[in-house]
Structure 1
Amino acid sequence: MKLVRYGAKGKERPGALDADGTIRDLSGMIDDIGPAALSPESLARLRETDLQSLPSVAPQRLGTPVARSRKFLAIGTNYRRHADEAGMPHPAEPILFTKAISCLSGPDDDILLPPGATQLDWEVELGVIIGSVARHVARADALAHVAGYCVVNDVSERAYQLARGGSWDKGKGYDSFGPVGPWLVTADEIPDPQALELFLEVNGTMMQGGSTADMIFGVADIISYVSGFITLEPGDIIATGTPHGVGMGMTPPRFLAAGDKLRLGIGGLGEQNQTVVPDAR
């Protein structure tokens, strides 16, 4: 099942895609696609729904496919070829950092270029959305805690991230640095999260192409590991790392500028399209 949230920012409504790709309104069944809607029991009820019987919705803006997430976590340097291009050793344990909840944005919303930013970079990633509480979870049980999967662009300002001291977080959390969606694809439709193809284009030129098979730590490893440090709750989002081809790894480096257009996606999980615009607020 493909779940969406549609409408103006801050006023999104819950929906699902039918077999023809038409959005069907779920607001008569659930108030939103928030933590309560992501439980295994709730998702089972939604899967039994005859979507054709629900009102159709005209194409419009999509928001993040999950509401009221309490945590937006991410894993760094988690693809072998990406580690190699960055000249970094393959980590012995997952590198964990946080993206600010305030950076979440819709899959096609503009990316804001912060004033004075010089090293804005892209990272297509597989996102994992938690559906049930995970605390000290064994690897063998980890995927049972997944509600679904989505596309994430882990937008990063590399100078903020790497050249200004402290943690990575301040290079990862600016407003609009967390496009998520277009859909939450429920876990039953993704039998193997380690067999998904990812891509990202800038201005029509392919920059990233890879497979989740290249992950150093797979989804089950990540959930098991993170749940030993942080209790994972329904609605939490984990971005699981990016394949090779980021701007920082090019010779010379290539960073985003105002007017650049991105297209990115993952097989079976949909595509995002964004334009970089100066933050004039």
Structure 2
Amino acid sequence: MKRARIYHRGRDIWVRVSQDEQSLILPNGSSIPATAAQWLPPVVNGAAVYALGLNFADHNKELGFAPKLATPLIFMKGGNCFVGHEGDTPRPADGNQMHPECELVAVIGRPAHNVTEAEALACVSGYTVANDYAIREYLENYYRPNARVKNRDATTPIGPWIVDAADVPDPQALKLRTHVNGELVQDGTTGDMIMSVAELVAYLSRHTRLMPGDMILTGTPQGVHFCEPGDIVVTQVEGVGRLVNHLVAA
């Protein structure tokens, strides 16, 4: 099953997505075409959102880093930075090195505290897609992503929906792709992740209690491609979803 969050008739609501992904089923049982939806980020209010940097060996090599860090690079994201499917993301006038980053997102479904790797995936209720844009001009330190890079308004498209974990048998065997105006610019697999989804959940749960609705953005594969206002960016995770975003001038 897939669940999405939309704005409909003055209300923020959660809906089910039809099997063919063409319709959205409202709480009252009626439906609307998916193409008519005003998509919102499928993020629960008050949820903690964790993000990973340098968690793909091929991307680390591309940037000139060793394949594996001694400890994971984890940072937090605020709710203001998210925007839904088909939304607009502003590119700053001086952001000439702004590039998309396709990421698998794990959604926590039950409290997780000090869980083992073997227990970790049972705490994941679903998955979604994020495009965690980076702006290289604003990056002060790869090991300390600052707010100008990773917490700007509407610079992290996420969605379109959350797919149940039961429908994603192996989160470490998914293709990730990004297209800009139809051109393939990222082509990777979650099998190249340094810390798997299970490892990340277990690691974080040792330091903080993960709660239902919390999210973990798990990192991005290689493929740095600088974007311009007017570009249409599509990030896709196999078996999870296809997320469309429009870059506009800030």
User: Is 1:162 aligned to 2:140, yes or no?
Assistant: yes
Report what 1:67 is aligned to: 44
SS in 2 for 1:182: strand
2: CA distance, partners of 1:72 / 1:278: 27
Equivalent-residue separation in structure 2 for 1:269 and 1:9 (angstroms)? 27
For 1:231, the equivalent position in structure 2 comes to 209
| 1:58 and 2:33 aligned | yes
Encode CA deviations 1:200-243: one digit per residue, 9 max, x unaligned. 01121100011101111100000111112222111111100001
Which amino acid in the other structure matches residue 146 of structure 2?
D
Change (3 A) 1:9 1:258: farther
1:167 Cα deviation after fit: 2.8
Matched to 1:25, the amino acid is L
Q: CA deviation at 1:142?
A: 0.7
- Equivalent pair of 1:194/1:213 in contact (CA under 8 Å): yes
Tell me, in whole angstroms, the C-alpha distance in 1 between the residues paired with 2:15 and 2:153. Answer: 25
With normalisation by structure 1, the TM-score equals 0.82
Tell me, yes or no, if the aligned pair for 2:85 and 2:157 is still in contact at 8 Å: yes
CA contact (8 A) 2:83 2:157 kept: yes
Q: Amino acid of the residue matched to residue 82 of structure 1? A: H
Separation in 2, partners of 1:145, 1:157? 33
Q: Which residue of 2 aligns with 1:79?
A: 56
Where does residue 181 of structure 2 map in the other structure?
Answer: 203
Take 1:8 and 1:117, find their aligned partners in 2: how far apart are those partners? 34
Distance 1:10 1:228, change over 3 A: farther
The 3-state SS of whatever aligns with 1:162 is coil
Letter aligned with residue 148 of structure 1: G
Q: Which whole-Å CA distance do the structure 2 matches of 1:215 and 1:166 have between them?
A: 17
Letter paired with 1:169: N
Q: Which runs of 5+ in 2 are unaligned?
A: none
Identify the match of residue 101 of structure 2 among 113, 119, 123: 123
Say if 2:73 and 2:143, in contact at 8 Å, map to a contact too.
no
1:193 aligns with one of 158, 167, 171: 171
* Structure 1 gap segments, 5+ residues each: 29-53, 248-254
Q: Which amino acid in structure 2 is aligned with residue 12 of structure 1?
A: D
Provide the residue aligned with 2:65 in structure 1. Answer: 88
Q: Could you tell me the TM-score, scaled by structure 2's length? A: 0.91
Partner amino acid for 1:68?
Answer: N
SS at match of 1:62: strand
Alignment match, 1:5: 5
Q: Secondary structure at the match of 2:4?
A: strand
Offset of residue 125 of structure 1: 0.3
Secondary structure, counterpart of 1:16 in structure 2: strand
SS at match of 2:202: helix
8 A Cα contact 1:97 1:169, kept in partner: no
- Between Structure 1 and Structure 2, the one with more strand by share is 2
Deviation at 1:104, TM superposition (A): 1.1
**Runs of 4+ in structure 1 over 4 Å off:** none
The percent of aligned pairs where both chains have the same amino acid is 36
Alignment-derived partner of residue 18 in structure 1: 18
1:96 counterpart SS class: strand
- Alignment-mate amino acid for residue 66 of structure 1: V
Distance in 2, Cα, partners of 1:161 & 1:134: 32
Structure 1 position 118, deviation (Å):
3.0
CA-CA distance at 1:277 after TM superposition = 0.7
